[in-house]
Amino acid sequence: MSSNTSVKIISECKEKLLAAKSDILNRMIESKREYFSRDKGLDEGDQSMANLAESDFLLTQERLRKQILEIELALSRIERGTFGICEETEEPIEAERLLAIPWTRLSIEGAEIQEAMKRKFAIK
């Protein structure tokens, strides 16, 4: 843990991370349940809608898996003692930012640096 990131903030962030992980896992289960319980006997006209629904389901599941991964990485940083350190600047991440987005890897400054780099090297 960063010496600048208090035990209280880390504890609160860990609680938020675990709650978010639980919520996302429940959403994934519910999404699967809804998708697999839909009517499979579709006529040709409904097949295109079914294909769109399947695409939406898969995109949603992938987005949720990525969120789970970010949460697990944040929990791992807590265990390793590197939680709250910006991966771009190697400076402490603002406490308010950690409390708002506990899985963040970047301080505000670090996020601005990365955004500037993306804009600079964006292919147009």
pLDDT-based confidence at residue 2 (cuts at 50, 70, 90): very low
Share of the chain above pLDDT 70, in %: 90
Mean pLDDT confidence for 41-45: 63
What confidence score (pLDDT) does residue 38 get?
Answer: 76
* Alpha-carbon separation of residue 50 from 40, 44, 46, 78 (angstroms): 9, 10, 6, 42
Predicted confidence (pLDDT) per residue in 6-37, tens digit: 999 999 999 999 999 999 999 999 999 988 88
What confidence score (pLDDT) does residue 86 get?
Answer: 98
Q: Could you tell me the two tokens for 66?
A: 């990525």
Q: Is the pLDDT of residue 82 over 70?
A: yes
Mean pLDDT confidence for 72-78: 98
Burial of 77 (0-12, 13-18, 19+ CB in 10 A): buried
Q: Is the pLDDT of residue 44 over 70?
A: no
CATH 1.10.40.30 fits 7-121, yes or no: no
